[in-house]
Structure 1
Amino acid sequence: MRKRTIALGLAAALVAAGGGWYASLDKETRALLAAMPTDANVLSWKQDQRDAAFRAMDRLPVLAKARTFAPAPAPLALPAGKPLEIPGFDQYAAKQRLAGMVIIQDGKVRLERYGLGFDAKGRWTSFSVAKSFTSTLVGAAIKDGKIKSLDDKVSLYIPDLRGSAYDDVSVRQLLMMSSGVAWNEDYEDPNADVAKFNNAKPDPGVDATVSYLRKLPRAHPPGEVWHYNTGETNLIGVLVSSAVGKPLSAYMEEKIWQPAGMEQQGTWLLGATGHEIAGCCIQAATRDYARFGLFVLGGAGGMVPGDWFASATSKQKDIGEPGHGYGFQWWTNDDGSFAAQGIFGQGIFIDPKRKLVIASNADWTRATEGPEGEWREAFYRQVQELIDAGG
């Protein structure tokens, strides 16, 4: 199975009841949150704790702070279409531990389901689905002239990287996860970079991500080897924020959230030094994740260059799996479809040929290594085949 992993090294410390955010949760959820470990990251949480926390990440002030983006004054309507009858769907949803799914085809909602006590009004965490939002903000910054070229060196926008292994890395190579800088994203290794970088003490006056990554050595020449690296997506977020001169969440509201017609407020968790965790941690309604898919299908309303998605969502780097590749922070398929994906079953699948968007949130039994990922790939194919058959 494709290893689609992201880092979330946030402390899981929780305090006793207090404040309106806590009182607003139901009794069962409060009990689960109160029992959450105080010395573990999300990958070690128990399943019932994840069920509770994934819908409340931005309401746990001891866990993390967050910035918000306001909904659109006139949300994009999602009219109902012909119901899509999917054989075996209930069994599939149960095996996926599905919290929410919205299937939109040709602009109309053909299926909408919820589980795990979640509903259309709640916000679920994105994990690495955020990477594709961050990529789109790079496109917006290109369109705005704030990033001059994808071939610019990243140290041009983040001077604190000068003299590091990133001196020779371009924005394009960062987007394609081919910087060549050494990085260990092994979640079973407590000494891996992915386990350490969020908790490392930053250098005085330097962003926490920049502080950690600028100390890493080079493993390959820039651009040669694809290697998944969540820390570098966080770095892209710092780069965009620096280039546009405003917080990433403010740029998100301006370039994506409101133009896409989002119906609910969204939030973005912040890292230790106040930057949005660009490789993770957007909280949104499942319907608004689906609206992002529609926004991308429509070319992002002119907020990015006209040829942006043709490059961003096509294979830029081979990942060693036939039929699949990696674009600019998007997983790509040779049939022209592509996806944003996050651990524990978060995803936005987009198929331009069929005008299809499938947004889903879940709490899988394991972050990436269980069977759910393969089942989801089969489900996507099943939906494509049903649409082709006139379903």
Structure 2
Amino acid sequence: MTDQQGLTMADLGLFTGAPQHDHFCRMQDLLSAREMAPAAQPYVWPEGEAIDLPETYVFDGVPRSSKEFLADTDTAALLVLVDGVVRHESYFLTGGPDVQWLSMSVAKSFVSALVGIAVAEGHIAGIDEPISSYVPVQPGSAYDGVSIKDVLQMSSGARWNEDYSDMSSDVFQLSAATMGIGGTLDDFVARMVRESEPATVCRYNSGETQALGALVARATGRSVAEYMREKLCEPLGMTSAGYWLLDPAGTEFAFGGLNLTARDYARIGELYRRGGKWLGRQIVPAEWVRDSVTVTAPHLKPGRPVVGGHHLGLGYGYQWWIPDGDCGEFTAIGVYNQFVYVDPAARTTIVKLSANRRYGTSSEESTNREVETLAFLRAIARHDH
């Protein structure tokens, strides 16, 4: 474990327009972190003939330059796999093949996989169980009696505002808890407030994933990092060390504190593209993978989930975003434009790691560029390989 307490998340100037590429490449050196060692038998991606990126992509009916988009969004890494083979790999700014980059909410999809594994192993009886059967919460608070499934689907009914341009929003209070301000992350989860009936509204809520991290830790008796090291890092053959950022109590920032290389992030996308199977071994149950990337209720359909008062136009599964369409696409998305995007029809997984400095300076797509990133990644996946 590294222990660097001299810097707080607020010191980074997140969502102020300040450049972040000098920070996201070394978060394990700036904040307390728990290391996950590389796999004993690393799996190195095979490399095929390099493909050219499309020179342009279409967004809002207008052709746009791929090169300019990569620069404008402070891209650090772009990795494209087709049929599990590396076909494009490029790095910019402070990115690099051996650089562990901050996941932001891409971590949520990894935590979801850990929940699925814990269910399969019998640590968790089932996702219809109340999460409060495993995680201590205050009576009558948001997670008291609410099913694990509703938390997985960001549909617990908890009151929440995930507005990155509002310094008083809940997501900023959660960030304060990472530094022990107002209590620990577990304290924050225990006292969250209920607002609506569960399973009626999908309200994107980083607190939900923090609750799922507590679930994994309580149910397995292991830290999130320890459990992930054994259940994902080792069997997937991760080639580099990974890190989870920690609060002062030693609890992982389950909602967004994972740090991996681009090549290791790609493993979760490829694992799910392959139905949870890796080199002939079922790592995550196939049914869990299918349910994770499927819209299963009206309030989860594309356009219905709410993010900080606006809509991305995407649907939601078990901590995965699901674009509209018939290609079976799904994607993990983190603020500042972190993406692990999968297009099964194109047999393609793409990782884009970024530090888009304008992100969160407003709630507008023109600064956040998430829908545009999806258009760009789709253009790559559907480009003639």
What TM-score bracket applies, with the shorter chain setting the length? Answer: 0.7 to 0.9
Q: CA deviation at 1:160?
A: 3.4
Specify the code of the residue in structure 1 equivalent to 2:52: E
Specify the code of the residue in structure 2 equivalent to 1:139: G
| Identity across matched positions, percent | 34
Of the three residues 2, 8, 28, the one matched with 1:58 is 28
Deviations 1:64-103 (A, max 9, x none): 2111111112222212212212232433322332101110
1:173 is matched with 150
Specify the code of the residue in structure 2 equivalent to 1:372: R
Q: CA deviation at 1:163?
A: 4.1
Of the three residues 299, 304, 314, the one matched with 1:324 is 314
TM-score, reference length from structure 2: 0.84
1:4 is matched with none
Deviations 1:204-261 (A, max 9, x none): xx98233223333321111111101101211110111100011100100111111111
Deviations 1:174-213 (A, max 9, x none): 000001111122223332222223435999xx98233223
Distance 1:323-1:186 versus aligned 2 partners, 3 A rule:
closer
Deviations 1:83-129 (A, max 9, x none): 21223243332233210111000121110000003211111111100
Distance 1:270-1:165 versus aligned 2 partners, 3 A rule:
same
Specify the code of the residue in structure 2 equivalent to 1:267: Y
- Mapping for residues 278-357 of structure 1, pairs under 5 Å: 278-298=254-274, 299-301=276-278, 302-316=282-296, 317-318=300-301, 319-320=303-304, 324-333=314-323, 334=325, 335-357=327-349
Q: CA deviation at 1:157?
A: 0.3
Tell me how far apart the structure 2 counterparts of residues 112 and 305 of structure 1 sit (CA, whole Å).
30
Q: CA deviation at 1:152?
A: 0.3
Deviations 1:283-312 (A, max 9, x none): 111111112222222314422222111100
Q: Structure 1 stretch 291-300 or stretch 251-260: which is displaced more? A: 291-300
Q: Structure 1 stretch 269-278 or stretch 315-324: which is displaced more? A: 315-324
Q: List runs of 5+ in structure 1 lacking aligned partners.
A: 1-10, 15-35
Q: Structure 1 stretch 269-278 or stretch 376-385: which is displaced more? A: 376-385
Q: List runs of 5+ in structure 2 lacking aligned partners.
A: 56-65, 305-310
Of the three residues 147, 168, 173, the one matched with 1:196 is 173
Tell me how far apart the structure 2 counterparts of residues 371 and 222 of structure 1 sit (CA, whole Å).
29
TM-score, reference length from structure 1: 0.83
2:120 is matched with 143
Q: CA deviation at 1:378?
A: 1.8
Query: Are 1:227 and 2:206 matched, yes or no?
Result: no
Deviations 1:332-389 (A, max 9, x none): 12331100111111110011222210011111132254163233122122123214xx
Q: CA RMSD in A?
A: 2.5
- Mapping for residues 1-391 of structure 1, pairs under 5 Å: 13-14=6-7, 39=11, 41-44=13-16, 46-47=18-19, 50-60=20-30, 64-88=31-55, 89-199=66-176, 208-298=184-274, 299-301=276-278, 302-316=282-296, 317-318=300-301, 319-320=303-304, 324-333=314-323, 334=325, 335-368=327-360, 369=364, 370=367, 372-387=369-384, 391=385
8 Å contact kept, 2:34–2:246:
yes
Select the structure that is richer in helix. Answer: 1
